[in-house]
Structure 1
């Protein structure tokens, strides 16, 4: 198991990210369960925008905000936070905003220019059609035309944040954790477990491929369960 604070080269991080793109969130969830991490799945209210946005996989870069009335003209803290994003990272947006947009087309363009590989938003987005044109993977809780300017303001970044969970009310996300999202939903892999979880998820994926092939060749489900166990 690697240290949570292990320093990886950009190439190492990208190799890990590409490997995660080849495994399913369901397998990752099973591996985490086996390690005793039972509450890493995120709420089913997180959905892809658009529906065919593609797989979300990257290192967490956290951004936090809150409902705060302020004059029109933009959120300087949001721009500063976004300027710190690095290649291979997924921006994770959290806060108490409801009914307003944290993230839109222009931020998606700016994120993509910096090498950001997607966004996870515990809140709202807008410009869905135009974000789709950017081929930028994005999972959020809702969409809304209402902007954040004057309503919701960034007050922290690269700090631990809480996002809504599936089996628990909240899941804590730390900078450098790994975010994986697909058709089944989104899961958070703690940084200290990334290598172990990836190795075990890859092994489970290979096992499932063998089982699928055997079933297609005529092996009964009962015999498959006897031979391979539950997966």
Structure 2
């Protein structure tokens, strides 16, 4: 897994998924947003970390009995213990929330190990308990049945699809109130720098709009006066 620098992590924590989506779109990336996943709590912190992946396939009844959890190499259990501190566990549950991808005990273990967050395109059981942890967690919807009824954990830290987005190990995952986006690892530093600047400009624009200024020439900044005003705003606000 590629190393996410502290500088890039810090910048991305101050940036929205919407702003990152625009920067990726400018580079031709259109499907980096993980579809139909939602934060379990509206108050959970912004999630930033490198992707560590778990892939599920459809379960086969003779291979998916409760006894499989006695095996320490079981991919779901191993993913919980192997996901590095600061990383995000991303689970490909085939967009199927009829059975849980994990529950509160496993998510709590991730939190206690220093993992940065968890995402599934399926569902979590114990969702209210997970929501109270204050830990970044995203899923499609709550789901009570054990994952064993429908999902067979097959392998960890391989390329996956999650909510129609391609996720490669080490890609940078950003999650906020709007959802989750995947930043290709080789672009993370570049995207963080660009979107940090974009965020400063958008904060300036928001203040101008709140004060009654119209958007023509302001957003986008086609009027030269806009850039002059922005420079003065940055100096005034230390941005």
**Which of the five TM-score ranges fits, normalised by the shorter chain?**
0.7 to 0.9
Aligned in 2, Cα 1:211/1:125: closer, same or farther, shift over 3 Å? same
Larger CA Rg, structure 1 vs 2 = 2
Partner of 2:116: 117
Please say if 1:37 is aligned against 2:36.
no
RMSD (Å), alpha carbons: 2.0
Please say if 1:21 is aligned against 2:20.
no
Give 5+ residue unaligned stretches, structure 1.
165-169
The aligned runs of 1:117-136 (5 Å cut-off) are: 117-136=116-135
Q: How many residues align?
A: 215
Say which SS state the counterpart of residue 192 (structure 1) adopts: helix
Structure 2-normalised TM-score?
Answer: 0.82
CA distance in 1, matches of 2:167, 2:197: 26
The aligned runs of 1:123-202 (5 Å cut-off) are: 123-164=122-163, 170-202=164-196
Please say if 1:219 is aligned against 2:217.
no
Partner of 2:198: 204
CA distance in 2, matches of 1:157, 1:146: 22
Question: Which of the numbers 12, 28, 39 marks the counterpart of 1:48?
Answer: 39
Please say if 1:65 is aligned against 2:56.
yes
CA distance in 1, matches of 2:11, 2:29: 21
- Could you tell me how far 1:219 is from its partner in structure 2? 2.6
Question: Which of the numbers 76, 80, 85 marks the counterpart of 2:83?
Answer: 85
The one-character-per-residue Cα deviations of 1:108-130 (angstroms, maximum 9, x if unpaired) are 11101211111110111011121
Partner of 2:92: 94
Structure 1-normalised TM-score?
Answer: 0.85
- Could you tell me how far 1:56 is from its partner in structure 2? 2.2
